[in-house]
Structure 1
Amino acid sequence: MECITWFAPILPGKLDEWKAGVEALKGPRRAEHEASRARMGLVREVASLMQTPQGDFTCLFHEAEDLAKAYQTLATSEDPYDVWFREHIAGVHGITVDMLTGPIPATLVLDYRADG
């Protein structure tokens, strides 16, 4: 199993749009989001809001058997939800399809796990 944490900027003036998107994922679009993540092979996704003097960021944790394949699946899917999600992250974070199909956006340097 692979896991990664990474940050994505919330573009200036887009915080309310980001919050509305999160509420949609937790509410009316929850089933679509869960189906999308199942297609991607994600077994865990965590998103947090981090507000810093340099701006707002979403902190992400993703876990899957194959993260590159997961992001590739999202990047190429024609499912209406996945298309909407790509448009949403492009508008709110500036994340493009090329970024999803390129190298994993972070390098894992420490992965501590307690035994037991």
Structure 2
Amino acid sequence: MECITWFAPILPGKVEEWKAFDQSMSGPRREEHERSRKRMGVVREVASLMQTPQGDFVCLFHEGEDLTKAFQTLAASEDPFDVWFRENLVSLHGLTVEMLQGPPPAEVFFDYRGDAA
């Protein structure tokens, strides 16, 4: 299982819109979101708001079997939810589909895992 943490800017003036987008995925669009992540092979996704003097950011954690494939699946999908999700990546974060077509947008340098036993 792979995991990655990364962050993306929330464009100026878009924090409330981002919060509504995020809440819709745990509310009225929950089932669509779950189906999307199953298609992608993502088993865990966490989004946190980080407000800094340099601006607002979403901090993300993704876990899945093959995260490169997961991002590529999202980039290529024509599923209406995935299209809607990508449109929000552009309008809220300035991310593009091209950014999803390669490996995840961050490189892991350190990954501590304590003894699970």
Partner of 2:104: 104
For 1:25-64, list aligned pairs within 5 A: 25-64=25-64
TM-score after normalising by structure 1 = 0.97
User: Secondary structure in 2 aligned to 1:60?
Assistant: strand
State the Cα distance separating 1:84 from its structure 2 match. Answer: 0.2
How many residue pairs get aligned? The number is 116
Matches of 2:68 and 2:32 in 1, distance apart? 21
- Over the residues paired in the alignment, what is the CA RMSD in angstroms? 0.7
State the Cα distance separating 1:11 from its structure 2 match. Answer: 0.3
1:56-101 deviation line (CA, Å, top 9, x unaligned)? 0000000111000000000000000000000011100011100000
Aligned sequence identity (%): 72
For 1:1-116, list aligned pairs within 5 A: 1-115=1-115, 116=117
Matches of 2:43 and 2:18 in 1, distance apart? 23
Matches of 1:105 and 1:72 in 2, distance apart? 12
State the Cα distance separating 1:104 from its structure 2 match. Answer: 2.0
**Structure 2 unaligned blocks of 5 or more:** none
User: Secondary structure in 1 aligned to 2:95?
Assistant: coil
Q: Runs of at least 4 residues of structure 1 off by over 4 A?
A: none
TM-score after normalising by structure 2 = 0.97
